[in-house]
Chains A and B, each alone.
Chain A
Amino acid sequence: MEMTSVTASVLASGPEIIIILAACTVLMLSLLPHPNRRLLAGLSLLMIALAAGMSYGLVGTPQTVYSGMFAVDRFSTYFKMVLYLGTALTVLMSGGYLATEKAVKGEYYALLLCALAGAMIMVSGTDLVIIYVGLELQALSVYVLVGFLKTHGRSNEAALKYVILGAFSSGLLLFGLSLFYGLAGTTQLQALQAALAPGGTSSPLLVLATLFLVIGLFFKIGAVPFHMWVPDIYEGAPSPITGFMAAVGKAAAFAVVLRILMLDLVVLDPIWRSSVAVVAVLTMATGSLAALVQDNIKRMLAYSAVAHAGFLMLGLIAGGTGGLASVMLYLLIYTFMTLGLFAVVILLNKGAELGEPISAFAGLARSHAGLAAMALVFLFSLAGIPPTGGFFAKFYVLMALIEAGNAALAVIAVLFSAVAAWFYLRIIMLMYMQEAAEPAKIRISPAMQLVLLITLAGTLLTGVLPAWFLGAAQAAAAAGLG
């Protein structure tokens, strides 16, 4: 590489560098005898804001750097904004939770920032190896974070399960990558596409490679039948980390799926298209039906996340700018509403060893009317009831599906949405129509107030005035498709 292109590469990856430096700094600071939680959180937020500012500055000059391995374009910038948002909200939510759990440690924020950096590399990577590196950086950090409540059996169990299953899925993915390399002699996506396109999709080895690649990726997004890890890990992880996985982890994984399957390796399209439709339906069905019988709120939200992943895959099937934009918009809105609800779950937390029974919501409307009303908005949004963002997200996915002429899938999707509404309603019923055994006493810290404010505003704005958000997603999708 010449000197100028090195400079350009470093500049273009500035946001990632900022985040990694931030992670190192936070780690150093946490070694001080009395690390100040607020200082670490504040520093993390500041650096995230700085990275966001830099990403925003870079959006005007789309470029592929590091010899074609790393793209800074509207597509990746859009996703990075979602990642910044999700991570910042997670940082804000974590303080109080860690204090309750007596697990205040500086590494927490450092790991969170590492996970963010990994996720950012995932969305910018245009080379299978880079994507894999980003994915592992993110996954390894999250493994530790899942087990962060060292003294809790559930947290440990979840971390162990996640490591084993995560490593297994990474192995599958890596195997797929190696097959691609064997077939085409490159791991750079565009070069791969160019090398594979003339041969078509007849080669059984290519089918096998695609299979492993897609399975590895579906593992990460929690698609059926690779969703088994989701409920256990969602339940055992510290609640802010569960929220982080649901919002940030999912967005990054979907960004990779979209980039590989929809933007760059379109040659694989005939191989995965029909099977993904089946997977999507199964994912929606399993998520919606299994969530009906959960008694732990985090477990329920895990299955709800599975159902949402199924719905998101419909956008993938719809294809085109509409399909791509619909998934991107959905992920943004999902970040708002799901983190909003997690904030409520965290506020209701009385100690992780007690678990998070759904009954904790009982009588909330009487003791904390405002909080209950906010939870109501998040739940209705997750259920897809207008005028919330959740409705518009689903609406736009359905629109893309019908535009693609896939009305049958749209009908199936809405029927499962109706099923899914049941378990969200169940929580609303508990909040509004039942009395608590003992009224909850909740103090909402300023950080939590900010989280609730941002997520509530986001959930409502994306539903009532979606034009701006839609425009951003459409522009990013159109730029991605070139």
Chain B
Amino acid sequence: MSGLPVLSILILLPAAGAVAVPFLRSRDTVRWFTLLVLLADFLLAVWILAVFDPSAAAMQFRETRIWVPALNMGYRLGIDGISVWFVLLTTLLGWICVLASWRAIAERVKEFMTCLLAIQAMMVGVFCALDLVLFYVLWEVMLVPMYLIIGIWGGGSRVYAAFKFFLYTLAGSLLFLVGLLALYFAGGRTFDMLALMAAEYPFRLQVWVFLAFLVAFAVKVPMVPVHTWLPDAHVQAPTAGSIILAGVLLKMGAYGFLRFSLPMLPDASQNLAPLMITLSAAAIVYGGLLALAQSDIKKLIAYSSVSHMGFVTLGLFTFEVNSMSGAVIQMFNHGITTGALFLFVGLIYERTHSREIAAYGGMIKAVPLLGVLFAAFLLASMAVPGTNGFIGEILVLAGTFGVSGWAGTAGVLGALIGAAYLLGLYRQVLLGPVKVPEGSVMQDLRRRELACAAPLLLFVFWFGLYPKPFLTILEPSLDHLMTQLAPAGAAQ
């Protein structure tokens, strides 16, 4: 591979964009500039995926620079078969967010686009970071633009939602910080994640650190019972904020489990797996039941996220290769599908200014293209065979049943509840006689909006029908993760 610091470019491109935006003049210039920067970033991510060596389990595109030598802190980057997908997802959703906010954000466009660019740099950085402190810094600083996105451009009670989001996540991350420092001293005084993964830790320490990490990651995922910030944040956030939240930020919690808890704390992970499985099963069922009771579209999708992310954590903690790859696929899919659902809710809201499910009906007749595409994403979210959602859930469930029958049953139950609320939404909004809130301007998808939806739709069916390329790249890295977990399993 070339000697270019590709990952740095991937991170610094949007960061440089964020610095440049305040100096631009007109709003449209700002919009086009942001779009082009993020598109370039996406194309770079696609190129990375194209030249990515699928046979290697090791980190690729590695970069190492000195940062704080006295503390053995470094600017260390690298991606493997897992993170490469999240880099792709992040950069894909990035430019879609710009398009989704093209007209929806009319006030303080410059600041908004600065936030979008900044958060993209940070999110990509999180997935590329191979240094604990670098990871932590990016992970936490991400709160700032997200706080602003929700708090400035959000809905009616945006300030409350932004505060809640910030403080919940901050409290979690700070415990993560304590855990990370404990690992530093136990793992030979380095923040190099690969070195820390190779080190072994005493069991007691593992459990404490695992619990500290659990709080941080569980808030982000979010797992029951620390999920209550999510509906507020989602409902109040502007469309782009919701897409980023659901599409990428929630993945970071699960990514944290995958990157830290499992490889670094294998014994604690094994021993606390029953707890994790219980919490996941609870999230699947409880999140689903909550979604069933919602009358607000955004809230419904927000709660469905809790349920769907439950499948991810369930899959991760069964320690079975099928369900783990299912979990990673589910993470990626959830980003695509839920991102798309929030996009469509946003598009509908722009036309009608209502999120009440009961206010709608017959959208397929009123706006056929929008209706059909919305239907496709709803079905994908429901995990109908042929869509991406199916692959993830079936793999997770297949693995889970081998480990815990009742958790598998809870998963199936959750999938059924999911079908119930998503079909309910489908029937009410899309079918039946045409019914729209007063004052709506029902216009079918514009070209700009179609451009947002098309790539997401492509992924829905690509992974639904032919997930093999995805699995091929994923497998070596997951196998490697299994070996990191294995000695602990053998020791029991």
Residues of A whose CB lies within 8 Å of any CB of B are 365, 369, 380, 385-387, 391, 395, 398-399, 402-403, 407, 410-411, 414-415, 417-418, 421-422, 425, 428-429, 432-433, 465-467, 470-471, 474
Contact = CB atoms under 8 A, between A and B. Distances in A.
Given A407-B208, A432-B152, A399 B166 contact: no
Nearest to A467: B68
Contacts of B133: 395
B70 A470 contact: yes
A289 to B, nearest CB: 14
Interface in B34-48: none
Q: Sorted from nearest, which 10 A-B pairs have the closest CB atoms?
A: A414-B174, A386-B137, A418-B171, A402-B181, A467-B68, A433-B151, A410-B178, A386-B141, A418-B170, A387-B137
A385 B141 contact: yes
Contact of B144 (A380, A414, A422, A474): A380
A190 to B, nearest CB: 29
Given A417-B174, A421-B170, A470-B68, A402 B185 contact: yes
Contacts, number: 85
13 contacts: A398-B177, A402-B182, A402-B184, A407-B208, A418-B174, A422-B167, A432-B152, A465-B67, A467-B66, A467-B68, A467-B70, A470-B68, A470-B70
Interface of B: 22, 66-71, 111, 133, 136-138, 140-141, 143-144, 147-148, 151-152, 158-159, 162-163, 166-167, 170-171, 174-175, 177-178, 181-182, 184-185, 208, 212
A418 B167 contact: yes
Contact of A474 (B70, B143, B208): B70
B178 A466 contact: no
A428 B145 CA distance: 12
Given A380-B144, A386-B136, A432-B148, A425 B182 contact: no
A421 B162 CA distance: 13
Nearest to B174: A414
Given A425-B147, A425-B166, A415 B140 contact: no
A410 B144 contact: no
B178 A398 contact: yes
Nearest to B166: A425
A142 B63 CA distance: 52
Given A429-B159, A433-B152, A411 B178 contact: yes
Nearest to A463: B137
Given A385-B141, A471-B70, A474-B70, A399 B181 contact: yes
B143 A385 contact: yes
Nearest to A370: B22
A398 B71 CA distance: 13
A421 B137 contact: no
Given A380-B144, A398-B181, A421-B170, 20 more contacts: A365-B111, A369-B22, A386-B136, A386-B137, A386-B140, A387-B141, A395-B133, A398-B178, A410-B178, A414-B174, A414-B178, A422-B167, A428-B147, A429-B151, A432-B148, A432-B152, A433-B158, A433-B162, A467-B68, A470-B68
Contacts of A414: 174-175, 177-178
Contacts of B162: 429, 433
Given A417-B174, A429-B151, A385 B144 contact: yes
Given A398-B177, A407-B208, A418-B171, A391 B137 contact: yes
Contact of B163 (A365, A429, A470): A429
A386 B170 CA distance: 11
Contacts of A395: 133, 177
A422 B163 contact: yes
Contacts of B70: 467, 470-471, 474
A380 B208 CA distance: 28
Contacts of B66: 467
Given A402-B178, A402-B185, A417-B174, A432 B143 contact: no
A262 B150 CA distance: 46
A474 B70 CA distance: 9
B266 to A, nearest CB: 21
Contacts of A421: 166-167, 170
